[in-house]
Amino acid sequence: MGTSDASSGLWDNMDRALGQLFMMGFDGTAVTPQIRTLIQEHHLGSILLTAKNLKYTSALVYELQKCAFDAGHPVPLLIGIDQENGGVNSLFDDIFIRQYPSAMGIAASGDPELAYKVAKASAEEISACGVNWIMGPCLDVLTNTRNQPLGVRTTGDDPVQCSEYGVAFMKGYQEAGICTMGKHFPSYGNLEFLGSSLDVPTITESLEQLSLSALIPFRDAIKQGLDSIMVGGCAMSSAGLNVMHACLSDRVVDGLLRKELGFDGVVVSECLEMDSLCQNIGVNGGTVMAANAGCDILLLCRSFQHQLEAINGFKLGLENSMITTDRNGYLPLTNIIEPEEELLLLTPLVKPLAASAASREISSHTSVDSPEPQWERGNPGLSGERVFRELGRSLARQRTGRVLHTSYTANGVRPQHESLINRASAVIVVTADANRNMYQNGFTKHVSMICNMQYTAGGEKKSKPLIVVAVSSPYDFSTDTSIGTYVCTYDFTETALVSLVRVLHGDITPTGSLPGTISRSEKLTQSKTHWLVEIFNEERDALALDTLIKEIIEWSSPNQRSELKGATSNSFLLRQQNVLETHFVVRNSSTSALYGFCSTYFFKSTGTGAIGALFVDPGRRKLSIGQSLHDRAIRTLLQREGIKRFQLGSRLPSIYLGIPSDHSSERKRLRSWFANVGWNTALSRPVCSMVMRNLQSWSPPEGMAQSLQGAGAEFDLVRGWEHSRAIFDHVKTNNRQGLAEVYKLALSDPNSCGIVRAIRPEDGSIVGTVILYNATSALAEFIPALKDEGSEV
């Protein structure tokens, strides 16, 4: 499944390389226009043939390969079929193709050698027709005989016997020159069918239970050289583990299959056209999730529309940086930067832990005249700042290029940090108990986003290498998959940091892993799903957004007024010249339903980037949809030229002024959520909207008129642009985001809006202004809390 050196340059074309990541099927016994398009225009690399295709098998395979050759494919197509024998045979012919018993029938003979011979004979026959990849062997252990879709396709309920026969089948296929595919990982032999046909069959066994039974045949086949594995589309639900579809989960593909079982072959997804996936996620998003989970080849069996949808989804994922083209880590440093390039080290201002016993022992036996750096001689009294300064110096001694070193505090990413990040070729961020010192968590994620949004001089996007080093608790980012290369030293004593420098420069290779329950609990945590985030398209998404808003309002508690009451899709579209707005959605491309929405605004007048709204379908919360939207929004705002600050909530449109505070428990949850994604909510202040109903019937309190007269100001009511200069001179004295845009809307709508001015009689200067408007004004569209009341405010 590799490529020759002569053809490797052709894979530099992204479209050509992208096509190799898909396996697709089609309807027809000859080459159809649809499959021809996929091969010629989208460079499809693998074809799945089924019984419905195989009337003239050799001729069809020849035409498919010729089509690929004529289109300039540097390597032949992979042609795969299911040929398990028994009742599952894609290729059938009374004269030329021999029919053998099923896998369970072969196992009933008690002879593994027979399994080897049958597999070899079957593989030789399909190979003679041009097929080079068999979708087998079936490695499932039949542990649940009550609800079983596999039946005789397995070799029984004994994991040792299933392993023995599975490996024998695999060896027979390979002896005939056919690539093999073990299936269905982690197991289809223990499924529970808990609901309707659209619900996903579920594995309810824990990972420990799977390891003792269902995973044994996969583990043994991997050790014996299995070429590829298909990861199933089943759900997994057990203590602490909640996976919608196994093939979309990085915990299953990357964590369990790659890391735990050590599989380094090709991982193939289950067919992404399955009904439950189309209805619950959509092919577009499912494609991105499968790729992020670690699947190398994505399977779409039949629908041309879904196949194009999947290709488009993958391209969107690449454009949005949701799918990376390089999965390699950033160790050692020589892999990512040249010796003369600059390296940036960012360290927190913290006090170090007491030196370890080992370092104190070293210190007591080291001469004062030692040529080693002070920190390598083991001074337990070094301050945190001095320890990290010595770390920077030690890094610099190993390089010809400069090491730029600065610290960070709870003030977050400052202009100095951004300047140094842009200047350096790679960045190292050091954290120390980031879960306790939350500013470190937010700072690191902010730096990560900046590194992910770097561009070359030619405008091509190129992420900057980032290494995060936890020098105390490994919990800092142990389960955060958005952080790439992550190194844990477990303390920041001198000895630990000496070893860190050696690891960073490749003198030693880190071999440790998170110990004990930390590592085991990581396997059991809920898999973080990376949803495909798309730019809001008004023509395509407006009606779906209105539906989502309605669902959220209906879901709200009866005694709680939703901030979205009165809002429509138009409420988020400012269309103002000095406001750059980009909005995002998570959508089901197969059903067009919206699962989440996020609005962003960049106010040029103040350099403020604001997330104006972020909400998710109530029935799909806690699935990482909100975080996917948030991450994309921040990446977009970071690209705005002149960006100075970030803000949660917006005065215009005035839907969410910030984190809602109606209910203390919900506010606490939201503050915690935003803190976890990098916001410093400790510095926030309350912002409120005062609503006065039926303003026409309102009368001022007794004595107010006399008080106003004594204030030394005169009042008038003006409308229209002829008064704009004096009003805007006054508004400029208040540099709050969105305020100028509110007044522009009011001045542009004199029939529905007026501005009350408080004027100093001595010089005619404005000392205060108030906007009056009614429910029919353009301004009311952006303050929906009052629009539905139909009253003046």
At 13-66, the pLDDT tens digits run 778 889 999 999 999 999 999 999 999 999 999 999 999 998 899 999 999 999
Could you say which DSSP state residue 500 is in? Answer: H
Q: Write down how long the chain is.
A: 793
At 418-465, the pLDDT tens digits run 899 989 999 999 998 887 888 888 888 888 888 877 665 555 556 788
What whole-number distance in Å separates Cα of residue 284 and Cα of residue 309?
6
Within 251-383, residue ranges assigned H as helices are 275-280, 283-293, 304-319, 357-364
For the ranges 593-602, 682-691, 696-705, the maximum mean pLDDT occurs at: 593-602
Every domain of the chain and the residues it spans: 333-524, 534-683, 695-787
What whole-number distance in Å separates Cα of residue 176 and Cα of residue 126?
10
Q: Is the pLDDT reported for residue 124 higher than 90?
A: yes
C-alpha separations of 615 from 387, 531, 564, 624 in Å: 44, 14, 10, 12
Q: Nearest CA to 298 among 317, 281, 320, 283?
A: 283
What whole-number distance in Å separates Cα of residue 649 and Cα of residue 681?
12
C-alpha separations of 689 from 20, 71, 660 in Å: 55, 63, 12
Count H helices, E strands: the chain? 26, 27
Q: Nearest CA to 203 among 247, 261, 263, 262?
A: 247
> If you average pLDDT over residues 526-542, what whole number do you get?
86
Q: Are strands 645-648 and 608-616 parallel, antiparallel or unpaired?
A: parallel
Could you say which DSSP state residue 96 is in? Answer: T
Domain spanning 534-683, CATH architecture: 3-Layer(aba) Sandwich (3.40)
> If you average pLDDT over residues 771-793, what whole number do you get?
70
Residue 381: pLDDT band with limits 50, 70, 90: very low
Category of 719 on φ-ψ map: left (φ > 0), alpha (ψ -120 to 50) or beta: beta
Check residues 387 and 184 and name the one with the higher pLDDT. Answer: 184
What whole-number distance in Å separates Cα of residue 334 and Cα of residue 332?
5
**pLDDT at 321 (0 to 100):** 72
**pLDDT at 319 (0 to 100):** 82
Residue 578 burial (CB count, 10 A): 12
**pLDDT at 528 (0 to 100):** 66
**pLDDT at 45 (0 to 100):** 94
φ and ψ at residue 576, rounded to 5 degrees? -105, 140
Token digits for 617? 């379908």
> If you average pLDDT over residues 325-352, what whole number do you get?
74
Could you say which DSSP state residue 575 is in? Answer: -
CATH number at 333-524: 3.40.50.280
